[in-house]
Amino acid sequence: MPRSAAGPEIERLIQLLAKLPGLGPRSARRAALHLVTRRERLMEPLSDALRVACERVTECPTCGNVDTQSPCAICRDPGRDGSVIVVVEHVSDLWALERSGATDARYHVLGGTLSALDGRGPEDLNIAGLIERAKAPEVREVILAVNATVEGQTTAHYVTDLLAGADVKVTRLAHGVPVGGELDYLDDGTLAAAIRSRTTF
């Protein structure tokens, strides 16, 4: 490790910041310096915000979303369409869908995908909870909004089989050309899917 002008406390801060996605050792050092040279404006507010988050943020027992209230704001929102459950792999997917405003349904976070390689089996995912929720009388549809990867699709098939018991329609996201996407840059699989699922103009 190179000689450093920073004390152990600052070094510790740098090491922790370096664990954030998007920050490497170098940028973490810059970020730490940015913080310690902006104490009132940034470091103290961030410290407070983190403490508050540590104290209040919990995982929603119903859907697996992270929020400061339990159940989470989405599960508590009476304006939400309780007849549809959107199943996602990670909380980040849930946030992405919320940002898009594509649905006002409720969600269910699996916490990942089945993966023989990584040794993740059904018991490692929150699948049991989904089956339970799907059995509720008001639930009519389960949208499998998992990634279009091998693991994602494998998981989708597995979940679909388990949902056969519940009286719900199981759907998945459409494949096709991304809005604004150029055909020239798309993979064959996507193009084939886009042709297959073509719609009348």
| Residues making contact with a copy of itself (CB under 8 A) | 2-10, 12-13, 16-17, 19-23, 27, 29-31, 33-37, 39, 42-47, 49-54, 56-57, 65-69, 72-74, 91-92, 94-95, 98-101
User: What is the SS3 assignment for 105?
Assistant: strand
- Terminal CA-CA length for the chain: 62
Instruction: Please give the structure tokens belonging to residue 175.
Output: 């494949």
* Shortest separation between residue 105's beta carbon and a copy of itself, angstroms: 12
Which run of H or E residues covers position 51?
A: helix 44-56
* Shortest separation between residue 99's beta carbon and a copy of itself, angstroms: 4
Identity (one letter) of the amino acid at 178?
P
* Shortest separation between residue 60's beta carbon and a copy of itself, angstroms: 10
The residue (of 56 and 135) whose beta carbon lies closer to a copy of itself is 56
CB neighbour class for 178 (10 Å; exposed up to 12, middle 13-18, buried from 19): exposed
The residue (of 70 and 153) whose beta carbon lies closer to a copy of itself is 70
The residue (of 7 and 61) whose beta carbon lies closer to a copy of itself is 7
**Which residue carries 């494949």 as its tokens?**
175
Which run of H or E residues covers position 150?
A: helix 150-163
The residue (of 62 and 65) whose beta carbon lies closer to a copy of itself is 65
* Shortest separation between residue 147's beta carbon and a copy of itself, angstroms: 16
The residue (of 113 and 163) whose beta carbon lies closer to a copy of itself is 113
* Shortest separation between residue 31's beta carbon and a copy of itself, angstroms: 4
Please, which residues have CB within 8 angstroms of residue 81's CB and are 6 or more apart in sequence? 103, 104, 105, 106
Instruction: Please give the structure tokens belonging to residue 94.
Output: 């849930």
What number of residues does the chain have?
Answer: 201
